[in-house]
Chain A
């Protein structure tokens, strides 16, 4: 029998925020209403557990808009499964954040 991954409420909120289209740290913080000291360590742990993966946007794309390059996060397949399990565990999680289009 496969065990469903169990996440803390904070980690589940962060996964939900990423799934809703908030792909970088600051945006996740603003959406989840959590401080940086909670969001970034949680992102490191989620990345270690391969629930999220990160990648840098190309320098060219950032320069074009005259801003520093950003590190984006996205859910892996395991992350999607963990989020689905968390939604069953925390029923109100799915309605927390409104899905946004792409990144700012």
Chain B
């Protein structure tokens, strides 16, 4: 009787290990992976050689197997975090959630970090300085050759999205900095310390915008390097990105100092069958 109970416990544990390991396996492969492991476990139990502990030892092997599958699969198929920011609405939704959490955390303490001392620059000046510094580094996002290839309606929507995203990013950066700097007593040090987070927030917002389709504002994917550094002047040296919804191809020059750093090649309706609907 006791032997039977031990055997059931081992089988139950092995199924638990298998279920835990299956959560690591990329979603698209999970059913097949589970079928293979469950089948092999059934054979092992039926064979009954080596005792119940052998079943559990065998099931432990599913963990490194799951990790291996997760590692060798292209990240695009299994990284959910990346997908959270892929579409513009999701991006704004996540950022609003983060801003709300940061606001709650900041409001929980009796904090006066935003009340800058008289010697420090006002926050709006630091925000403007941060945005200017980030914009000067990558001006082609708003102006430049890319803007002429896209309809004005899409350009306006892109600018509104960039504005909302930047405001949220600055808000999150400011609130998190205020929370981190709480223990510091010097008001001037506290106030000036906001400049760097504002700069990072603006820079992230602009760089994120650079990797989005100018039509649907979803993040572009499938990067392919074209050319190489030694042949940059002859054949070009750039990275090609593709809009997952098939709106076009984005080319970004990898050659420092290139006059035309980004260009957009729209794809017409004849290409649409190659792309998954609603992806």
CB distance from B24 to the nearest CB of A (A): 12
Residue from A24, A44, A45 with most neighbouring chain B CB atoms (10 Å): A44
The interface bits of chain B over 58-84 (1 if a CB of A lies within 8 angstroms of the residue's CB, else 0) are: 111111110111001000000000000
- The B-contacting residues of A in range 33-53, CB under 8 angstroms, are 35-41, 44-45, 48
Of A11-19, A62-70, A74-82, the one contacting chain B is A62-70
A-B contacts, CB under 8 A, total: 56
Residue from A37, A48, A67 with most neighbouring chain B CB atoms (10 Å): A37
28 interchain pairs, CB-CB under 8 A: A24-B40, A25-B36, A26-B43, A26-B44, A36-B58, A36-B59, A36-B61, A37-B60, A37-B61, A37-B64, A40-B62, A40-B68, A41-B64, A41-B65, A41-B67, A44-B68, A44-B69, A44-B72, A45-B72, A67-B42, A67-B43, A67-B46, A68-B38, A68-B42, A68-B43, A70-B40, A71-B36, A71-B39
Binding site of A, secondary structure by majority: helix, strand, loop or mixed? helix
CB distance from A58 to the nearest CB of B (A): 14
- The A-contacting residues of B in range 3-41, CB under 8 angstroms, are 32, 35-36, 38-40
Contacts of A44 in B (CB 8 A): 65, 68-69, 72
* Chain A interface size, under 10 / 10 to 19 / 20 to 34 / 35 or more: 10 to 19
* B57: interface (CB < 8 Å): yes
The CA of A26 and the CA of B46, in the complex, are separated in Å by 13
The CA of A57 and the CA of B33, in the complex, are separated in Å by 15
CB distance from A42 to the nearest CB of B (A): 8
Mark B residues whose CB is within 8 Å of A: 32, 35-36, 38-40, 42-44, 46, 57-65, 67-69, 72
Contacts of A71 in B (CB 8 A): 32, 35-36, 39
CB distance from A87 to the nearest CB of B (A): 25
Kindly report which residue of chain B lies nearest to residue A25, judged by CB atoms: B40
Closest 9 CB pairs of A and B: A36-B61, A37-B61, A41-B68, A40-B65, A68-B39, A37-B64, A71-B36, A36-B58, A44-B68
CB distance from B18 to the nearest CB of A (A): 11
B61 touches A40 (CB 8 A): yes
CB distance from A24 to the nearest CB of B (A): 8
The CA of A35 and the CA of B61, in the complex, are separated in Å by 7
> Which single member of A25, A48, A69 contacts B72 (CB below 8 Å)?
A48
Using A68-B43, A70-B39, A70-B43 as known contacts, list a sample of 9 further A-B pairs with CB atoms less than 8 Å apart, ordered by residue number in A. A35-B57, A36-B61, A36-B65, A37-B61, A37-B64, A44-B69, A45-B72, A71-B32, A71-B36
